[in-house]
Amino acid sequence: MESEKRKSSRENMVQKLYDTCKQIFANGKAGYVPPPHDIQRLTSLLGMYLCLILLVRGA
């Protein structure tokens, strides 16, 4: 069974990803491509999220 700490970490990460996407795409319209530094922010968050998932599955 997943520990409360891991569940909380995962939920916080999903919220952080949501908030970041909301910031990055707030002024975007159809076909909008974020600047490289924003793409890097998303890439970084997704990488951390992937690591978290792998840790949970490995437990």
pLDDT digits (tens, 9 = 90+) for 32-55: 999 999 999 999 999 988 887 888
Number of domains, the chain? 1
* pLDDT score of 55: 83
* CA dihedral of residues 20, 23, 27, 31 (deg, nearest 10): 0
- Which domain covers residue 32, as residue numbers? 4-58
Q: Cα–Cα distance between 32 and 25 in angstroms, integer?
A: 8
Quote the pLDDT of residue 59: 57
Taking 80 as the threshold, does the pLDDT of residue 26 lie above it? yes
What's the pLDDT score for residue 6?
62
Residues 14-40, mean pLDDT to the nearest whole number: 92
pLDDT in tens, 7-17: 676 678 889 99
